[in-house]
Amino acid sequence: MKLSINGQVSEVDVEDDTPLLWVLREQLGLTGTKYGCGIAMCGACTVHIDGVAQRSCVLPISAVSETQKITTIEGLGVQQFHPVQDAWAEIDVAQCGFCQPGMIMAVSSLLAQDPNPTDEQIQSEITNICRCGTYPRVLEGVKLAAQRMASNQKAGGSNEQV
């Protein structure tokens, strides 16, 4: 079975029902994507599929095709940090950090769809669980990243990643 992950095609040989999460973690060694619940409740396993955030723990590998572009946290800001990662570093969002790859993937997807979300939109879209309680800084981080991305755009830069 072939998968397109972080711009590379990888071949894996696993049972059909293996969730993408475990293919990433255990077949491809991409452990930045985390397991938190396995039932699509926590968001720790969030990746992008064709740019859209998805919870990979409930996505059987048989449902993913080679034409779909999968991006994991390892592929988000390869040459340079994604603006969301920059914002996260700048205001020290992470505590234990375990939920943050998923959080960052969810936020970067949200900002790709909606560059200027309201507080309410952020609150309803970002449903990832953080037991350390980084929520206030997550909210602040989303807005900071949105600002940065807007001014990059103005300056003619691009936010295209990978």
Nearest distance in Å: CB 106, ligand FES: 10
Number of residues near ligand FES (by CB under 6 A): 23
- Single out the residue of 80, 104, 85 nearest to residue 161, CA to CA: 80
Nearest distance in Å: CB 129, ligand FES: 7
Binding to another protein (CB under 8 A) within 76-115 occurs at 76-77, 79-81, 85-86, 88-92, 94-101, 104
Nearest distance in Å: CB 79, ligand FES: 26
When binding is defined by CB under 8 A, the residue of 4, 72, 108, 109 that contacts another protein is 72
For ligand FES, which is the closer residue by CB, 139 or 150? 139
**Would you tell me which residues interact with ligand FES (CB under 6 A)?**
35-38, 40-45, 55, 57, 94-100, 130-132, 134
